[in-house]
Amino acid sequence: MSNLLKPLALAAIGLCVSAAAWADSFTNPSFETGNVNGWTVQGSVSVQSSVTGATGVTVNPTQGSYFGYLTSCCVYGLMPGYTDGSTLSQELDLAAGQKISFDWFWNSYDYLPFNDAAFVTINGVSTMLDNIAQAGSNGATTGWNTYTFTVPSAGEYEVQVGVFNNLDNGVNSFLGVDNFQVSAAPAVPEPSSLALLGTGLIGGVGILRRKFAL
């Protein structure tokens, strides 16, 4: 490769990896510190090594030795339409195209019409993970499930999980979470950078042509 074109090639590589350089990852993603360090907590959130659910099934971590365990109690007004609950959250700077994922399970002893529910909320947009109506009344424990979200555009994102009582707070429900992950940022340079790089390449080729024409 020409000595003139080598810097341009290196610049192209730099542009492609630039998105990955500033993207965040979760702090304490599998609670392996044995606590909730790095997370913002509202309500009752503990760290467990295993839980025997309402159906008698024992649930163990999907990653490492611990998982986070939220109880639908203690803080009022966290989710519209629900009484009290608990949340766990972090804020991340992410690039477009990255994927957020985590594992979760639902555990509840409540019953209808007290339709307790668990949600994931990303930048204020909530998606229900499970509730009494779906999982069943008078005791229900799901196995582990995986939630995945694709980041639509670069920016700061708040990722929050929560579990909430509905209509009363007499019987609590629970949400287990583990193995929070962020995929690598796609190597996509900005259009303006591509334009500058293209101009440089055209100029470099032109210089080479003149050089060999002499």
Q: Over its length of 214 residues, how does the chain's per-residue pLDDT go in tens digits? A: 555 445 444 444 444 444 444 568 999 999 999 999 999 999 999 999 999 988 899 999 999 999 999 999 999 999 999 999 999 999 999 999 999 999 999 999 999 999 999 999 999 999 999 999 999 998 899 999 999 999 999 999 999 999 999 999 999 999 999 999 999 988 766 565 545 445 544 554 454 354 445 5
Neighbouring residues of 205: CB distance < 8 A, sequence distance ≥ 6: none
Fold of 24-183: Jelly Rolls (2.60.120)
Domain ranges of the chain: 1-21+187-214, 24-183
Record the tokens describing residue 205, joined without a space.
């080729």
> What is the amino acid identity at position 164?
F
Contact 104, 145 (CB under 8 A): yes
- Model pTM score: 0.80
